[in-house]
């Protein structure tokens, strides 16, 4: 039987407390969701500018007269059972602890803090998420340096990631393949299409250290998992077929231009 979620009343509106999503959701309106990562974490509680009309987190569109600041209790107080289950910690005394304290007690997070690297599975093969080496290193394969994090990070910076960012991967070599996107007309042999989760989702601990981000913020933003997965995408799920078509058409036009502009060869005379 599914556990009934606890509720929170804010200015007369009832919200469900969903610890798995680390969010509060307006009862009966599942699209009205506010994540704890979006509001100010004061450790002992959260501070939230509440939109009285929209019944949600206020933003730049909210009129000042419609905003009231409210105090939201810690997740450990709102749903101690949910926090104990999510982070695999004892429920005894949990309401007296800060949310961040409880997260650090999680065995998987504690193990990562002690130096054990997270894993990402790519087409069934485990890769170590190694921020120190700035790469995803394939387990038991020393023939390659693996996959650089640089192109993944660049796509995140330019906000093309992960929905629009796809990568061609060679499973046999445990490496990415970078084609000439301006001339490619078909999926190269022995490659598959994959997309990656955000780097911070692969390893929020390593990400926090690399980019000098507060770990407590990243643990709120991400659902820590010691093992994540790259997702294989089918060709028809991408814009590659359209790209292939455009490249073929462009190459055909260029070839036609070359033939048109090529000088005519003189016919050789017979002796």
- Rounded to two decimals, the pTM is 0.85
Helices (H), the chain: 75-78, 80-87, 99-105, 107-113, 150-157, 199-202, 204-211, 215-221, 240-261
Q: What is the mean pLDDT of residues 67-83?
A: 98
pLDDT digit string, tens, across residues 113-157: 999 999 999 999 999 999 999 999 999 999 998 999 999 998 877
Per-residue pLDDT for 182 more than 60?
yes
Q: What is the mean pLDDT of residues 199-221?
A: 96
pLDDT band at 269 (very low <50, low <70, confident <90, very high): very low
Residue given tokens 């001339």 in the structure block? 183
Confidence (pLDDT) at 204? 97
Residue 71 phi/psi, 5° resolution? -100, 125
Confidence (pLDDT) at 1? 62
Confidence (pLDDT) at 261? 79
Residue given tokens 């982070």 in the structure block? 87
pLDDT digit string, tens, across residues 4-60: 999 999 999 999 999 999 999 999 999 999 999 999 999 999 999 999 999 999 999
**Among residues of the chain, what percentage have pLDDT more than 70?**
94
Q: What is the mean pLDDT of the chain?
A: 92
With 0-12 / 13-18 / 19 or more C-beta atoms within 10 angstroms meaning exposed / middle / buried, residue 255 is exposed
Residue given tokens 């055909």 in the structure block? 252
Confidence (pLDDT) at 231? 95
**Among residues of the chain, what percentage have pLDDT more than 90?**
85
Ramachandran bin of 171, using left for φ above 0, alpha for ψ from -120 to 50, beta for the remaining angles:
alpha
């Amino acid at each position: 039987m599914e556990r009934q979620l606890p509720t929170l009343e804010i200015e007369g509106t009832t919200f469900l407390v969903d610890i798995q999503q680390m969010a509060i959701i307006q009862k009966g309106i599942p699209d009205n969701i506010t994540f704890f990562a979006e509001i100010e974490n004061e450790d002992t509680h959260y501070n939230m500018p509440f939109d009285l009309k929209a019944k949600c987190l206020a933003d730049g569109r909210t009129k000042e007269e419609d905003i009231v600041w409210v105090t939201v209790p810690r997740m450990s107080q709102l749903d101690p059972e949910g926090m104990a289950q999510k982070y695999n910690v004892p429920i005894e005394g949990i309401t007296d602890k800060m949310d961040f304290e409880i997260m650090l007690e999680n065995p998987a997070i504690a193990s990562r803090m002690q130096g054990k690297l997270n894993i990402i599975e790519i087409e069934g093969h485990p890769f170590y998420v190694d921020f120190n080496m700035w790469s995803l290193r394939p387990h038991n394969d020393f023939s390659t340096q693996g996959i650089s994090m640089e192109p993944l990070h660049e796509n995140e910076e330019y906000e093309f990631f992960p929905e629009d960012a796809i990568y061609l991967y060679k499973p046999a070599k445990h490496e990415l393949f970078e084609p000439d996107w301006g001339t490619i007309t078909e999926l190269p042999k022995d490659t598959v299409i994959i997309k990656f989760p955000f780097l911070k989702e692969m390893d929020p601990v390593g990400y926090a250290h690399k980019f000098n981000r507060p770990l407590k913020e990243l643990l709120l933003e991400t659902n820590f998992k010691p093992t994540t997965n790259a997702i294989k995408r089918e060709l028809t799920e991408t814009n590659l077929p359209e790209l292939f078509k455009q490249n073929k058409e462009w190459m055909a036009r260029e070839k036609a231009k070359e033939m048109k502009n090529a000088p005519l060869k003189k016919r050789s005379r017979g002796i």
